[in-house]
Structure formats: C-alpha cells, structure tokens
Structure 1
C-alpha cells in the first residue's frame, strides 16, 4: 500500500512538471500557428503527457499497475477543442496497443472512448468547473470499475486495486485541474499586465510609453518625413465639473474611437495623459498632415457625445498643434516640444483650431 502511494506521489510530480512544460509549449504553438493545426499540436502534447504517465505506471504490489493516462484526456476536453481531444485519444490508444494486444488493451480502448464521451457531455452540461470535474472523474471511474470487473472476473476481482484507482484518480484529477486553472489565470494576468504596460486602460489607445517607444524608433531611423499631432479637448474641465468624471471618461473613450477611425493604419495614436492625445504620422507632407488634422477637428466638432446613459448629448471641440520633420522642425529631438508649443498657440488664439508650428511659437 505504501509503495502504491509513493508511486502516486512520483506520478503527481511528473504530472505537475509536465503541465508547466505543456503550457509553455502550447502558448508558443498558439502564437506561431493561430488555426486548427495549433489545436492538433496541443492534442499531440496532451497525448505525449498521457504516454509519460503510462510509462510511470504505479505498481500496486499486486501484479497490477495504475496510471493517470485519462487525466490528460480530461484536461484536453476542458481546455482544448474536439480535435485536440481526438488526437490525444488516438495517441494514448496507439501507445497502449504498442505495449501488447490483449483483452486489457481492448478494454483500454473502450475506457478511453467512453471517458471521452462522458467528459465532453459534462463539460457542456455542467457549468461549475469543479462540479464538472468531480462528475467527470466519477463517471470515468465507474467505467473503469465495470470494465475491470468484467475483465478480472476470469482471474478474480482485485478490489484493493479498484479502491486505489478511485483514490488516486480523484486526487490526481483535482490536482491537475487546480494546476491548469492556476497556470491559465497566471497566463491571463501576465498578458493583461503586458498589455497595460503599453496600452491606456481607459481608451484602449497606446499610452505614453508606447508613444515614446515609437517616437524613439522614428528618431533612430532618422525618418525624413514624420509629423506629430498633439490635440487637447477644449474646456474639458467644464465637462467634468458639470457632468462628473465618469461622464468625462465616456467623452474620452468616444474621442479615442474617433481617433482610431480617422487615422491611417500606420499612424501611432496615443493618449498621453488626461485629455491630451497624440498622433505620430509617418511618410506625409506638410499639406497632408494639415489636412489630417483639420479633418479630425471637423469630425469632432460635428459629432454628438452621448452621456448620462443616453439622456444627454453634448458637443466638444479640440485644439491641435502639429509640426513635421524636417519642414517646420529641423531637429527631430524637438519634434514633440514644437508640437506642444503649437498646441499652446492654438489654444491661445481661440481654441478649436489647427496650428502648425513656427518659430514665433517659441515659449519664453
């Protein structure tokens, strides 16, 4: 009995280690191959995990073996598609036939196929993950028990083996799902933090870090025609004071949506903070940059910004400062500063304007 649970502990260590490796490999596959083939490859990984667990079979001391081959199948049903599950099943069945072909290998085919059916049914019908897992393992164990009784009726039923299998499969299945849940949530949180590092959470635009990175890349390439447009909502403080900051956020999100739609696919649109936004434009002339800015100004001026759950509609205007290297700004390092000075000049001259930088805009 003790050696059985020592073997189970070894299997558990192998299972946990394999799941960490599996998640890393599966993530790499999904990044490089975003289609059905990625699911097939995930199924192959799960099938290989099943083979590893079969290799580390638990010796019960009663001329019998227990393994956790069914757990990768269950995990594939829970976290993959039917293609991945099919591949996993085929790999496990083929490997079992490679060991030998007898009544036990045939019963294994029935066991895997029926377990697959029960796993799939439970995953669709039972919404609570842990309830679903317990029911899955229980139904699979019932199938295993019935098959074992039928097969072993010739030589005698090993009830100790069945009891050990129930305990080991339930514990192993619960631990495996817990680890997968943990790894999946950790991966999701990592992705969110990675996205938030370069994305403004309110508007979904690039944040100032993304803007700085794109601007530094443009500087390192010494692009000959790159423009910066900096825009600011006119009298935005009045919107916040009148309707509240939450409604001000609605206005910012709507303006961000307008910016996304009105700019080209290669333009870098960012929220630099507060109500200030910027657009980094590549490969354009002074006339083209001005036309972009003026078109944007008119779109915003003529747009309705619906707030207060659709009960209030307001208008806003924006002021835009713009400069282009190397037509109006001779040194690319001064590009952002000059665009900011042009924005200040647009505000000072009455707001709701587009102002191109000139040397007269130098701030004292």
Structure 2
C-alpha cells in the first residue's frame, strides 16, 4: 500500500474517532462530563468501548504485524472523565471483543496498545490531585502515543520496507496527537459553554426566586401573569388566583422577633407547596403576602382548595426557634378567569386583592371574594 494511502486511511480513522465521540455526546444529550449520575457514566463507558471496537475494526492494516488505529483514545477519555469505574468498563469490554475481530498477531498489538493507554491514564490519575479531562486528554494521549511508538519501533527491523513503516508510524503519531489536541479544544470549549449556561441558569433562577423561602418571587409571579394573558385567556382552561396574607404578622414580629417571623414565613411556604399540585405555582409576593396560582381551576374549585389551606394552616401550630408553638392564621382572597368580569391578568390580580381585603375586614382567617360584602 502506498504511503499516501496509509496516511489517508489514518486520517479517516481519526475522523471516525471524532465523529463517534460527537455522536455519543449527542445521544447522551449532556456531553461527556465528570458530573454525571453513575448509571449515565456506566452507559457512556460502554458506548466508548463500542467506539473503540469500531475504530479497531477499521484500523489501518500495514501488513500482518502492524495495525495503526486510535481505538485507545476512548479508553483514555473514559478513565479521565469517569475514573477507575470508567476505564475498567471500557478497557475490559473492548478487550473481550477484540479476539473476534482481529487475527492473533494484531490482537496482541491491539491488546498492548490498549493496556499501555489504560495504564498511562490510571497512573496519570494517581499522581494528579485534580484531573481536568478537557486538558489532560491531550497530555495522556501524547504519552500513550509515545509508549506505543517505542513499543512499535522495537520491531522495525522485521519489516521489509522499514522506511515506509517509520514514515507511517510518524504519521500515526502526528495525526493521533492532532486528534487529541482537537479533543482538548472541543471538549474544553464544550465545558466552558456548559459552565456559562449553568451560571446563566443559576443567575436567572436567583432573579426569580425568593431568597428566604425558595419560592418564586414577585418577578416570577409577574412573568406567570404574562403567560396567563397569552395562554389562559385565549384558551379553554381557567385558572384561579389565591392571595394569602398572614394575620397579625407585625404583632408576631414585635412579640417573638424577626427570626421567629422568618421561620413562620418559611414554614408557611412549605405548607403551601406541599398542598399545591405540580402545575400550581406558589410565590412569595413580598413581606407576609403569598400567592398561589391554581392551574386548570374554576372559581368553585378554587374555593374548595382555599378553604383547605385555611384549615391546614390554622389547625397545626408553627414551631418557633425557641421551641415554643404559636397558632398562625391567614386571610385569603380569590378570583378566577372563569368569572365573566375578569378578562386580563391585571383584573385577576385586582379582584383577588380585593377579595383579600374583604377577608381581612370580615375578621381574618377567612376566604374572601371581590364582589362579596363578607368573607366565607
């Protein structure tokens, strides 16, 4: 085989490696990262073993004693990303299949190549305090290529065309290092993108989350009201809105302190969340005022749920930091898009707020509606 053909085939083999890794990253939908559940790590390790086998099957056969291929690279990646568990799975799974696809001589060469790569990766992990896979792929790949090359050069005298063999080996090293360097750049870039996305997601979540209770804040509530305008009033399903306000909360703060007040706010948020359904949204709108947006809910259904909240909050005392118990009640205002006079989210909010005022004026610990003189 001409040297140019050998080099072209080496490039094709490296391309198969890169394409296979890309497909695996797309199949897993998360890319290859160190922070994956164990089950996902095992799955990806087996996929990397499969990629090693495919690459080996399409290796560049120079003659009966030389087979150039980059099937050891997935083993390195599995080791650096998933540790000993990953390298054991990928290495063993690859080795078990090799006897079925290679002749005896080539099997020995592939076995030694894979063993060298796995050993280098494990040794590298042992001596490093902290592995950074995106960078260390290039380093371990280069070390592995060096050991494999030295091993291969020991047999150079056994070939009739020693010069062609050395040139092919040199191309193998160059292309293999380039592939490792490209993986270093690509996966390093993926990690930076993933990190940026995580930070952006974290900041977005913080912007819409109440720091004390972990519930949605007023901004989250306002965003949800925009969705109500866009979807609910143009659809067939109704929603109900509950505004809840802790009765005599200022007196609680003045008597027991703000730490006790914070504990009550957190516990109330927990109780509201526990009762809410998956599609409902609980928010702390500010101070002692909370809201619950009840999905797919008419006014009459909202009354049933609102009264349930009243009972659950009033019947179970709240535990304060000093170990004492205190009875807490809330007043609730209700409005629903099922009412004919409510056609926008602004009207929904205003009517629920009026209902809360009715409940407060009627003696508290009640459920109020905007067009009633007294609360229930």
Q: Does residue 160 in structure 1 map to residue 170 in structure 2?
A: no
Find 2:142's aligned residue among 132, 138, 142.
138
1:136-190 Cα deviation digits (max 9, x unpaired) = 2233224313431345454477443443333222221121233233334445655
Bigger Rg, which one: 2
Distance of aligned partners of 1:213 and 1:118 in 2 relative to their CA distance in 1, 3 Å threshold: farther
Q: Does residue 115 in structure 1 map to residue 128 in structure 2?
A: no
SS at 2:70 equivalent? coil
Select between 108-117 and 184-193 the one with higher mean Cα deviation.
184-193
Distance of aligned partners of 1:36 and 1:134 in 2 relative to their CA distance in 1, 3 Å threshold: closer
SS at 2:334 equivalent? strand
Cα offset for 1:264? Answer: 1.0
* Cross-structure match for 2:242: 228
Quick one: distance in 2 between partners of 1:357 and 1:144? 79
* Cross-structure match for 1:322: 333
Quick one: distance in 2 between partners of 1:285 and 1:128? 53
SS at 1:357 equivalent? strand
* Cross-structure match for 2:367: 356
Distance of aligned partners of 1:100 and 1:55 in 2 relative to their CA distance in 1, 3 Å threshold: closer
Quick one: distance in 1 between partners of 2:241 and 2:79? 51
Quick one: distance in 2 between partners of 1:109 and 1:201? 54
* Cross-structure match for 2:186: 179
Distance of aligned partners of 1:256 and 1:285 in 2 relative to their CA distance in 1, 3 Å threshold: closer
Distance of aligned partners of 1:62 and 1:107 in 2 relative to their CA distance in 1, 3 Å threshold: closer
TM-score (norm 2): 0.62
Select between 187-196 and 257-266 the one with higher mean Cα deviation.
187-196
Quick one: distance in 2 between partners of 1:103 and 1:110? 11
Distance of aligned partners of 1:167 and 1:288 in 2 relative to their CA distance in 1, 3 Å threshold: same
Q: Is the 8 A contact 1:71 1:176 kept in 2?
A: no
Aligned length: 328
Alpha-carbon RMSD? 5.2
Q: Does residue 341 in structure 1 map to residue 354 in structure 2?
A: yes
* Cross-structure match for 1:205: 215
1:196-220 Cα deviation digits (max 9, x unpaired) = 7778255453433468779978x95
SS at 1:205 equivalent? coil
SS at 1:228 equivalent? strand
Cα offset for 1:109? Answer: 1.6
* Cross-structure match for 2:324: none
Distance of aligned partners of 1:274 and 1:153 in 2 relative to their CA distance in 1, 3 Å threshold: farther
Q: Is the 8 A contact 2:333 2:367 kept in 1?
A: yes
Q: List runs of 5+ in structure 2 lacking aligned partners.
A: 251-260, 322-327
* Cross-structure match for 1:44: 46
* Cross-structure match for 2:177: 170
Q: Is the 8 A contact 1:50 1:70 kept in 2?
A: yes
Q: Is the 8 A contact 2:242 2:306 kept in 1?
A: no
Cα offset for 1:69? Answer: 1.1
Q: List runs of 5+ in structure 1 lacking aligned partners.
A: 237-250, 305-316
Q: Is the 8 A contact 2:149 2:169 kept in 1?
A: yes
Quick one: distance in 2 between partners of 1:234 and 1:2? 86
Quick one: distance in 1 between partners of 2:154 and 2:9? 26
TM-score (norm 1): 0.64
